[in-house]
Structure 1
Amino acid sequence: MTENTRRFCEVCSNKSFDDGGDGFFYCTRCGSQVNDIIDTGVDEDDLFNPEGIYSASQRRKYTNVSQPEPLSQVKLSQHLETQDDYDEHNGDDGVVPAEPSDFGSSQISLTYKDYYSGIRLRYIMGVQVMIQLQCKALVEKFNVSPLIVGLVGPIWLRLLAHEKIMNDEWADNVIHESESQTQGEIELSQPTGSNKTEPHNLLGKRAVTIWHKSLSSMIPLPCSLAISFLVCHVSREAILPTDILKWTLEGKLPYFSAFLEIEKQLGPPSRSCPISTSRMFRPIKTITLQKLESLAASIARKIGLELPSVNFHAIASRYLKHLSLPVEKIIPQACQVYEWSMPPELYLSDNKLRLPSRVCVMSILIVTMRILYDLNGGKWELISSRSNNLVSTDEDDSSSCDPDPHDSTSDMNKSNFDALKLLKILEEKYSELSDTYDFSKDLQSYLLYCKDVVFAGLEPAYDDHEEERIIEDLWDFYQSHKAGKASENGKTDSHTCNGFHHSGSRHGCSSRRKERENFRDDGCKCKMSRDDGDSNAVNCSQCGLEETALSQLKEDMKENRFVYIPPRKNVKKKDGYIRYARKRDGAFLYAVHADYYILLRSCAKVAQVDVRTMHVGVLTFERRLETLERRIDFCLCKRLPDDFCEFCRNE
């Protein structure tokens, strides 16, 4: 179609059209056929010459053009090298010669092998480019070891070899499988429309669509994320599935908008692959955390890769820093528990129903902290009873509450103080542990995220400079309005926090402290008696504060199907470590103490799992420890046989 012909597509108003090779023209954007233009392919000299080659008695003899056979049993790099060499010599997409000998040979339709080879090669190369982009982002943006670049190649090629996609019979097997899925008699149908020159199955379905669905099911696009996580796991990096998913949703890890870079590197689709790049390489939805970990383990199992356990020391240290807990005190003890127990849950599993490995890491930390700080019931209630000394004071003034080293009960007081301090940190950090995405910080970040990730690659239906100018004017207006608003906020700097209006800086604002002060001033019924000099008024205010905090905690526990257990009285030394259980009352109910629940919910929030899931992980790990202790006791009590060797008898 000549450039002088000014036409617009009736569907998308596009100006560019392409010759489909069948005498019709098609829109390069939406693929719709132009109805009123047909390429007759008649030479002007032959049109008015009765003896010409286009007369009814004359028949053109088509020349046979040999097509290059695609390689099937070689490495992927050799495929790309062969394709590049062919493009350099012919100057085209590698399907037909760029300089035909005559007019007739240039219109030869593509063969069955050309179609499935082109679709297969482009899909494999596109997923490989996506994996390379993700590994590059992990190294450059997140300081991951460059070792993953050398690991990803063998894993990817071994996965291709296992799936047997490069076999010659792959295309035929996929077509036969699509035909055999229909029950009963098969009604043969003839293909119609603009794609009638393409290969179809007996049901009239396009073969290119069938091959693409088969490729996307055997090697789905989430495999790129699973392989990226797998190489981080093999290289002993402290990268979790939660990190991969968060960076993917934020657009920092190329996944949703990777098809733009794929088209830059591979070029536009050729005639042998009539599927757009966005349709082939743009994911519709993200992958879940559990599916990501199980998919990585499934890939390792397929290729025969023996995986190590997770890097417990690095992940546990990272969790403790996130919780603002003393790493130097907890990590050595937690590593001893880990090395002694070595639970199998620390290894990746392709079972989708198994608990994630990060739950096992956090379970070891919870058990270790319960042993170190003696969190077995009653410590959180002790915080409420000492609210004047511990809760209402700042963290900088907590040193004034240190126990007296010359006291006879110094060890007990020191243990209680450490436990109370730990619970105080966890209670205050709980509301700050929400993991937010970068694009949710302000409107500008969200708009840029929508432009670069959500609506990446989208353009106006036609070139409209007026629309582009309006968009730029609106964006400039938003930037100027935001700058003016920021300057006004800088003067007053007032904000609202949990229903309370404050003036000044946000730093140092504690919503829990404000709630307690508000309760002391307004919520206590004994305010008048306190003004009258009644000595019991302060105690009543403290009791009201304790009851309010306890009722809030019980309400939170009830939402998660936990049952509150009051503090124990007359605790005996031999009681030791308490193991909680669950009972079924229609659904599972969990009865726990308050201090354990505060520790549990904070750790579950950091690990990004449900509180009940975290509790099940702790119960599972405690059961394993109990089994190990029982076996050790059995072995130690077992009497050795008398038939010693001569060396043992001498000893």
Structure 2
Amino acid sequence: MTDTNGDELRCGVCDELGCYFSDEDGHFYCNNCNARVDDVVATGVADEDFVDKGGGGGATYDPHYTRYTPSVKPEPYDPDHMGPKEPADFGDVPIGVVFTEEDYYNSIRGRYILGLQLLLQYQCEKLVDVFKVSPIICGIAGEVWLRFVASKRVFADAWPDDVIKDSESQGDKKCKVGNYAKHINEPRNLYRERMAIIWFRSLQKTIPLSSSLAVSYLACHIAREAVLPSDIMKWAIEGKLPYFGAFPKIRESIKQIERSHQRPSVICPLEANFMFRPLQSVSLQKLESMAASIAHSVGLNLPPVNFYVIASRYLKQLSLPVDKILPYACRIQEWAMPPELWLSVNESRVPARVCVMSILIVSIRILYNINGFGKWEMTLSTPHDDSFMDENTSGSDDDEAAMPTSRTKNVDPEETSSSVHILESDCAGLLQNLEKKYDDLDNTYGYSKDLPTYLQYCKDVVFAGLEPLYKDPDLIEELWEFYLKNRESVEASGEFELGLHGNWSRNTNTPFCTTKENLNNRSDEPTISLSLSANSSRSSDNTLRDSGPHQNSSSTGKLESPHNSLDRAIRYMKIDMEEHRFCYIPPRVKVKRHGYLRYTRRAAGDGAYTYIAHADYYILLRACSKVAQVDSRVMHCSVLSLERRLGWIEKRIDECVQCCKKPGEASTLN
């Protein structure tokens, strides 16, 4: 075939006539738009070799046996852009259009950063509109976000080449997604891995989706708001804060932005649910350390957490008197200033919220004199029965030796109670309220309260962006009516009860229910009436407190002696403490020091630590741990760390006073 004349070919993309050139691969390309003609190929055969060209010799080639590839009629040419005006998610590459590597990585990183910026914008709007956070966080979050992206240098000129070189140095990791033939026109590295996926994975690792939550929390922290990492993650899991199901809204927003600029792009081959849908949640400690890392990368000197606001919130959750406890807690905080009150990039360090709660625990122990004197055990006995201190306890000097006390000197108990332990008379009521409120402190999610709320949550968050399998609305209505009818019949029969967390549980009046009451009856021991949850034994103590030791037993109708009820309550307390690797210590009998009692921990045989504590301290510790959403042992370690810091400060003060004392002057500390 001879050289093709430019006047004989018309481009199917830009509709220009002629102006074609032939490449080494035998294809023809338009000089105007660089589109390739798929139905014309240079074969290197002369015209006289064809029968219909009137060659002098015999027919070497028959045109009927020439391969012909029909071309797909493309969209009309638009001078503003190439490709369709309404791209898909995020569109397919139109036939005849060839994009370069630069087009791919510019489109991918531009879409990813824009999508994360939109996600951060949605989160700030929800925090202000729904959770009543100060609007100043919007400006703080925007400035921190821009500086954070700039510090990662993902828009540097050398970034795309460096990412590809790193992927080629790690040739074992394949980045293939989807069918190979579908993405055959995409650029690939030496190991035939898709560069689009390589660039996206690098962006996802450098600036993860969870960084939007970290920036939102960091903005609240800088604005001195009482928003904790636990709040951010709970709202995100519940769908109240855009994160898991926000990608459909991000996709529509990106389309509107590109349409407003009259430059919709179809270069990015990745879908929105692949780019902007998180696969898992972030731990609370990871979120806090990520916020500190972002602040460090942009050069921010962060203040400590707002102790006053967070401590007030914790005291209200525990139903404790804020005006009586908070002033003393603030004094300890201003005096000690533990470094844990600042955010840290170290994930293994004690979280800031745990440090705030540990200061409250120390303050409550000082004010209420919770130092192992058996206040909780006293509430289990009759008002005039004190013999349980001799029969059910075995406190000795060895127990106290295992728990070093502070450097407080021996003082008169009455003087100590009047000067320091100003709320000691309310200690028994405090422990009772914390014990009763323990089960109510569960941090339940909003979608677990009923079935319609949970179904709506699944539609908006879990299966966001998916269409229902059944388009017929009548089927859904029939299923819903069937559920409501069966629920009404079950509730009318009283066979099941809906628990606090939305879980169906069998009523304790049915003969097939196994509770601790039934287990107690099997042992042929007199018992009192118990109404316990099936998943925990901790509510037994609450019931014992409500019913009292002289209530009639529902199974035997006999009265239980105070000593038996005390033994049973202590036995349940020991079980609960052992589940959290705590060891129960009886109340103190031979009291030699009335100062602050410091606990310690012992190494068990399996290499783990066993934490010894009195029941008074443990009741306070487990309630505070549940509010702070941390394990009881972590909270206990934070309290021990704070106590060591306070003891070190007291020691330094004594040394300074001794150094400043004049020779021959009597010490005022004795």
8 Å Cα contact 1:520/1:541 also seen in 2: no
* Alignment check: 8 A CA contact 2:368 2:427 kept: yes
Q: Deviations over 1:583-632 (max 9, x none)?
A: 11232111111100110011001111111111000000000001111111
Does the 8 A contact of 2:544 with 2:569 survive in 1? no
Q: Secondary structure at the match of 2:583?
A: strand
Partner of 2:623: 602
Q: Which of 438, 444, 454 does residue 452 from structure 2 map onto?
A: 444
SS at match of 1:107: coil
CA distance in 2, matches of 1:625, 1:421: 28
Q: Deviations over 1:234-288 (max 9, x none)?
A: 1000001111111111100000111011011002994210100001000111111
Report if aligned partners of 1:355, 1:617 keep a CA contact under 8 Å in 2. Answer: yes
Letter in 2 for 1:128: Q
Cα distance change, pair 489–331 in 1 and its aligned pair in 2 (3 A): farther
Aligned to 2:238: 250
Residue among 376, 380, 396 paired with 2:376: 380
CA distance in 2, matches of 1:599, 1:362: 11
Q: Does 1:350 align with 2:318?
A: no
Matched, 1:220 2:216: no
Tell me if structure 1 keeps the 8 A contact 2:211–2:290: yes
Establish whether residue 499 from structure 1 lines up as the match of residue 508 from structure 2: yes
Which residue does 1:583 correspond to in 2? 602
Match of 2:103 in 1: 114
**Aligned pair 1:567/2:578, yes or no?**
no
The answer to whether 1:543 aligns with 2:563 is yes
Q: Is 1:317 aligned to 2:336, yes or no? A: no
Cα distance in 2 between the residues matched to 1:309 and 1:284: 32
Does the CA-based 8 Å contact 1:95-1:110 persist in structure 2? no
Matched, 1:239 2:223: no
1:512 aligns with 2:543: yes
Structure with the larger helix share: 1
**Deviations 1:98-131, CA, capped at 9 Å, x for gaps:** 7xxxxxx982311111110000100000000000
**CA, structure 1 residues 52+414, in 2 after alignment: closer, same or farther (shift >3 Å)?**
closer
CA RMSD of aligned residues (A): 4.1
SS of the residue 1:142 aligns to:
coil
Aligned mates of 2:203, 2:103 — CA distance in 1: 16
Question: C-alpha separation between the residues in 1 aligned to 2:172 and 2:465?
Answer: 41
User: Which residue in 2 is equivalent to 1:554?
Assistant: 574
Residues in 2 aligned to 1:321 and 1:204: alpha-carbon distance in whole angstroms: 60
The gaps in structure 2 that reach 5 residues or longer are 1-9, 36-76, 86-93, 257-263, 386-413, 500-504, 511-528, 530-539, 664-670
Given that residues 138 and 253 in structure 1 are in contact (C-alpha distance below 8 angstroms), is that contact kept between their aligned partners in structure 2? Answer: yes
Report the Cα offset of residue 410 of structure 1.
10
The answer (yes or no) to whether the contact 1:95–1:114 under 8 Å persists in 2 is no
Aligned to 2:432: 424
1:144 maps to 2:133: yes
In the alignment, does 2:613 pair up with 1:617?
no
Q: Does 1:303 align with 2:298?
A: yes
Cα distance in 2 between the residues matched to 1:415 and 1:228 = 40
Contact kept, 8 Å, 1:53 with 1:59, in 2: the verdict is no
> Contact 1:297–1:350 at 8 Å: present in 2 too?
yes
Letter matched to residue 603 of structure 2: R
Of the three residues 256, 280, 285, the one matched with 1:290 is 285
Partner deviation per Cα, 1:519-552 (whole Å, 9 max, x = no partner): 842389994xx7xxxxxxxxx6111111111111
Work out the CA distance in 2 between the residues paired with 1:368 and 1:266: 52
Shift of 1:639: 3.9
Instruction: Give SS of 1:338's match.
Output: helix
Q: Match of 1:20?
A: none
Q: Is the 8 A contact 1:562 1:592 kept in 2?
A: yes
Distance 2:267 2:299 in 1: 35
* Residues 157-236 of structure 1 aligned to structure 2 (within 5 Å): 157-182=146-171, 193-236=181-224
Classify the secondary structure of the residue corresponding to 1:371: helix
Cα deviation, residue 640, structure 1: 7.6
Question: In 1, Cα distance between the equivalents of 2:180 and 2:230?
Answer: 48
Change (3 A) 1:110 1:425: same
- 1:63 maps to 31
Tell me, what secondary structure is at the counterpart of 1:564?
strand
How far has the Cα of 1:411 moved from its partner? 6.1
Matched, 1:272 2:264: no
Mapped to 1, the partners of 2:596 and 2:225 lie a distance apart of: 34
TM-aligned CA deviation for residue 417 of structure 1: 2.9
The answer to whether the Cα contact below 8 Å between 2:217 and 2:232 also exists between their aligned partners in 1 is yes
Question: What does residue 471 of structure 1 align with?
Answer: 476
C-alpha distance in structure 1 between counterparts of 2:265 and 2:324, whole Å: 62
Match of 1:638, SS state, is: helix
The AA in structure 1 aligned to 2:591 is V
**Superposition pairs of residues 41-52 of structure 1, within 5 angstroms:** none
Distance change >3 Å, CA 90–CA 387, structure 1 → 2: farther
The structure with the larger Rg is 2
Which amino acid is the alignment partner of residue 383 of structure 1? T
Q: 1:119 to 1:230 in 2, by over 3 A?
A: same
Give, in whole Å, the separation in 2 of the partners of 1:415 and 1:252.
40
CA distance in 1, matches of 2:545, 2:598: 36
Stretches of structure 1 that go unaligned for 5 or more consecutive residues are: 1-40, 68-88, 99-104, 390-406, 503-508, 531-539, 643-651
Q: Does the CA-based 8 Å contact 1:524-1:544 persist in structure 2?
A: no
Q: What is the rounded CA distance, in whole Å, between the counterparts of 2:596 and 2:123 in structure 1?
A: 46
Q: Can you list the C-alpha shifts for 1:175-221, whole angstroms capped at 9, x where unaligned?
A: 1110011389x9xxxx9512121110010011001011000000000
Change (3 A) 1:116 1:245: same
Asked whether the 8 Å contact 1:337–1:364 carries over to 2, the reply is yes
Identify the range of structure 1 (243-252 vs 515-524) with the bigger mean alpha-carbon deviation. 515-524
Which whole-Å CA distance do the structure 2 matches of 1:544 and 1:177 have between them?
A: 71
Return the TM-score normalized by structure 2.
0.70
Question: Does the 8 Å contact 1:95/1:272 carry over to 2?
Answer: no
Q: CA separation of 1:170/1:95 partners in 2, compared to 1, >3 Å: closer, same or farther?
A: farther
Residue 440 of structure 1: how far off its partner (Å): 0.7
The aligned residue for residue 649 of structure 2 is: 628
SS in 1 for 2:99: coil
**Amino acid paired to 2:230:** T
Query: CA distance change for structure 1 residues 96 and 64 in 2, over 3 Å: closer, same or farther?
Result: farther
Aligned residues: 523
- Report the 3-state secondary structure (helix = DSSP H, G, I; strand = E; otherwise coil) of the residue aligned with 2:320: coil
1:52 to 1:286, Cα distance in 2 relative to 1, 3 A: closer
